[in-house]
């Protein structure tokens, strides 16, 4: 289905509903992917009574690809409109990577409306670029170099990122699949989202989260270091950190079975 979030901008939403009474779980994908990155969750969670809902962030997948803003605020606003339109309640929000940052901004900006539990998965938090409050990100120069690579050679860039994404040798087919998902996005959207991640952060938003929160993070994450997850856990009151020893940044794929079990346990607790 499609939901219009502003004039001429429609967000693609997938809704896998196993039946009445199913617990809603809303997935927000990361960069440079789309909702299909959660296939290993969609294959399992509905069997246990979970309604799996996901969207393609504007500029990605099957959603509209406008030229305008891709700020965290704008993307959080899109998420709010989708949740409002679907009239979801008692929902678990699962944000992966940049989708984690968007989810955090949503929780702060909208007071956690519709959401009763938050799962952050390899989330870009507190920041992507190093700051005094978040010293484990990349440098500003490294971020700019990554952005410039997309202007010069996007296919090579996506291939290089795929090699850093996973902790295990999942084979060329999985890496090709990752790159293919990236090509379903507008290149300017990928650039703009990474530019926003390089200049914005969610440090001040963390204290505004007041629902049970689980932080799932790969110990071998090369993109968002595990120490960043430890800082996030310290700044979200009452949150719990779940390390995954065999995962890099692609936890929902690296350790899909273990992640699915931990996520369902957290939602049901």
Q: Are 224 and 166 in contact (CB under 8 A)?
A: no
Residue 89, phi then psi, degrees to nearest 5? -135, 160
249 is catalytic: yes
How far is Cα of residue 55 from the mean position of the Cα atoms in its chain?
A: 11
Beta strand extents in the chain (DSSP E only): 2-6, 9-16, 23-28, 50-55, 91-96, 115-121, 213-218, 240-244
Q: How many CA atoms lie within 13 A of 269 on its CB side?
A: 14
Please report, to the nearest 10 degrees, the dihedral formed by the alpha carbons of residues 59, 24, 122, 268 taken in order: 180
Q: Are strands 9-16 and 2-6 parallel, antiparallel or unpaired?
A: antiparallel
C-beta neighbour count of 90 within 10 angstroms? 10
221 is catalytic: yes
Neighbours of 169 (CB within 10 A): 8
Residue 262 CB partners (closer than 8 Å, separation 6+): 214, 216, 242
Q: From the candidates 54, 97, 228, 239, give the one annotated as an active-site residue.
A: 97
- Catalytic, out of 221, 239, 247, 254: 221
Cα→Cα distances 9→2, 6, 110, 184, Å? 10, 5, 21, 17
Tell me how crowded residue 195 is: count the other CB atoms within 10 A of its CB: 16
Catalytic residue among 114, 217, 220, 249, which?
A: 249
CA–CA gap between residue 208 and residue 212 (Å, rounded): 12
- Contact in structure between 6 and 84 (CB atoms under 8 Å): no
**Catalytic residue positions?**
97, 221, 249
């Amino acid at each position: 289905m499609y939901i219009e979030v502003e004039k001429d901008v429609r967000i693609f939403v997938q809704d896998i509903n196993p039946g009445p009474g199913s617990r809603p779980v809303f997935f927000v994908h990361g960069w440079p992917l789309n909702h299909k990155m959660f296939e290993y969750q969609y294959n399992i969670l509905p069997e246990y009574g979970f309604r799996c809902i996901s969207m393609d962030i504007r500029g990605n997948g099957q959603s509209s690809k406008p030229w305008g803003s891709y700020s965290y605020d704008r993307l959080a606003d899109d998420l709010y409109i989708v949740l409002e339109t679907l009239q979801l309640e008692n929902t678990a929000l699962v944000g992966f990577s940049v989708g984690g940052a968007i989810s955090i901004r949503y929780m702060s900006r909208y007071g956690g409306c519709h959401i009763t539990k938050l799962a952050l998965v390899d989330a870009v938090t507190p920041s992507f670029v190093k700051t005094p409050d978040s010293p484990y990100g990349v440098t500003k120069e490294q971020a700019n170099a990554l952005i410039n690579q997309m202007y010069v050679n996007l296919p090579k860039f996506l291939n290089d990122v795929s090699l850093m994404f996973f902790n295990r040798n999942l084979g060329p087919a999985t890496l090709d699949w990752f790159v293919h998902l990236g090509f379903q996005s507008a290149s300017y959207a990928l650039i703009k989202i990474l530019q926003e991640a390089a200049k914005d952060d969610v440090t001040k938003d963390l204290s505004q989260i007041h629902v049970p929160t689980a932080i799932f993070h790969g110990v071998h994450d090369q993109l968002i270091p595990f120490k960043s997850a430890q800082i996030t856990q310290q700044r979200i009151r009452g949150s719990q950190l779940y390390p995954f020893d065999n995962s890099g940044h692609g936890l929902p794929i690296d350790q899909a079975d273990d992640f699915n079990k931990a996520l369902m346990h957290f939602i049901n607790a």
